[in-house]
């Protein structure tokens, strides 16, 4: 069945911005009559190991807000062979560049990512063999300057040049852009609602989805939660997680009402109540859904 999804990384508790995106993702999917899936994006095993128990707390927080989901929760850490099989037919090459070298060789970054300048694309076998002695190689897909157009519910048509992005890191871990595309494709995800910071990555992910024979999903990139200084909200900004707010006597229902208000939607005590409140209305036209939300710790 076609589905929407929310896919957190289990490295820290969900903050208000994460919870807002989850609530909107759920509402977009349920309002469209889609299944709603949860996926734990735990590719970075070192960071996950440093934060034990986070995934269970994230699921508990989502449940506390009234979000429900369909089927089992998928964890990326158990799917590495699936990602390798999916990438086996792609045109790829080894890359030995460090992040610093890429930063120095690239033009100015485009949005949230810095396009790869193709430094290792034309290395000879002799050159590759020599560089393997110095450092392990990441694996990049050869996109050959392809252009991809995606449509976002708010931003409209987004056209992007697809660079030769990483599929597997130097330690052989599948990269985010590969894993998320394969998982969305295999799980039947047709609708992706996520933060606006990921809008720039949509063309490359849509291009890869098409190359792998998957349906390209529709996109809805919603506004980010930011702190008073204009930076992306983080746990260090104070009482911005459900647990921290609970210690201050703030209930999950009160948090849900705050999230609804931040998006210009009717204030509701739970996700289910919100869905009932907006049923039959063009609630997605509310400007606040797409605008940054300034979160102040003293609110």
Domain ranges (residues) in the chain: 3-77+180-294, 85-168
Q: Which band of pLDDT confidence, cut at 50, 70 and 90, is reported for residue 188?
A: very high
Looking at 1.10.1670.40, 3.40.190.10, 3.40.50.720, 3.40.50.620, the CATH number of the domain 3-77+180-294 comes to 3.40.50.620
Length of the chain: 299
Q: Which band of pLDDT confidence, cut at 50, 70 and 90, is reported for residue 112?
A: low
Residue 284 main-chain phi, psi, to 5 deg: -70, -10
The yes-or-no verdict on residue 103 having pLDDT over 90 is no
Q: What is the mean pLDDT of the chain?
A: 93
- Closest-CA residue to 8 (of 43, 33, 34): 43
Q: Which band of pLDDT confidence, cut at 50, 70 and 90, is reported for residue 299?
A: low
Please give the average per-residue pLDDT across 125-153, as a whole number.
Answer: 95
- Closest-CA residue to 290 (of 270, 255, 265): 265
The yes-or-no verdict on residue 279 having pLDDT over 90 is yes
For the domain bounded by 85-168, which CATH number is listed?
3.90.800.10
Percent of the chain at pLDDT > 90 equals 85
First to last CA, the chain: 40
pTM, two decimal places? 0.93
**Spatial strand order in the sheet of 147-152:** 156-161, 147-152, 218-222, 191-195
**Spatial strand order in the sheet of 74-75:** 3-6, 35-40, 74-75
What is the pLDDT, as a whole number, of residue 100? 83
Alpha-carbon dihedral sign for residues 261, 263, 266, 267: negative
Q: Which residue(s) pair with 232 in the sheet?
A: 226
Helix residue spans in the chain (DSSP H)? 16-31, 45-49, 54-64, 80-87, 99-105, 125-132, 176-187, 202-211, 242-247, 252-262, 271-278, 287-290
Q: Which residue(s) pair with 225 in the sheet?
A: 293
Lowest model confidence (mean pLDDT) among 29-33, 64-68, 110-114: 110-114
- The CA–CA distances, whole Å, from 4 to 103, 152, 265 equal 35, 15, 20
């Amino acid at each position: 069945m076609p589905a929407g999804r929310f896919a957190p990384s289990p490295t820290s508790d969900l903050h208000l911005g994460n919870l807002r995106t989850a609530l909107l993702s759920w509402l977009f999917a349920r309002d469209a009559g889609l299944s709603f899936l949860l996926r734990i994006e735990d590719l970075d095993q070192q960071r996950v190991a440093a934060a034990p128990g986070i995934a269970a707390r994230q699921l508990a927080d989502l449940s506390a807000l009234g979000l429900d989901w369909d089927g089992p929760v998928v964890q990326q850490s158990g799917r590495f062979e699936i990602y390798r099989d999916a990438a086996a037919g792609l045109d790829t090459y080894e890359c030995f560049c460090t992040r610093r070298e890429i930063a120095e060789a690239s033009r100015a970054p485009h949005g949230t990512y810095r396009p790869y300048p193709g430094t290792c694309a034309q290395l000879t076998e002799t050159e590759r063999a020599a560089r393997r002695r110095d450092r392990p190689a990441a694996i990049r897909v050869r996109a050959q300057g392809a252009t991809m157009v995606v449509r976002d519910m708010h931003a409209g048509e987004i056209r992007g040049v697809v660079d030769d992005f990483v599929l597997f890191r130097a330690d052989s871990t599948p990269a985010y852009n590969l894993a998320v595309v394969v998982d969305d494709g295999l799980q039947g995800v047709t609708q992706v609602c996520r933060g606006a910071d990921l809008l720039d990555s949509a063309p490359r992910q849509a291009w890869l989805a098409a190359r792998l024979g998957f349906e390209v999903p529709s996109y809805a990139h919603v506004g980010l939660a930011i702190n008073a200084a204009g930076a992306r909200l983080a746990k260090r900004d104070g009482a911005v997680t459900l647990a921290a707010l609970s210690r201050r006597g703030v209930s999950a229902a009160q948090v849900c009402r705050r999230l609804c208000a931040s998006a210009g939607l009717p204030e509701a005590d739970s996700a289910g109540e919100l869905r009932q409140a907006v049923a039959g209305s063009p609630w997605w036209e509310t400007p606040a859904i797409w605008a940054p939300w300034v979160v102040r710790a003293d609110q």
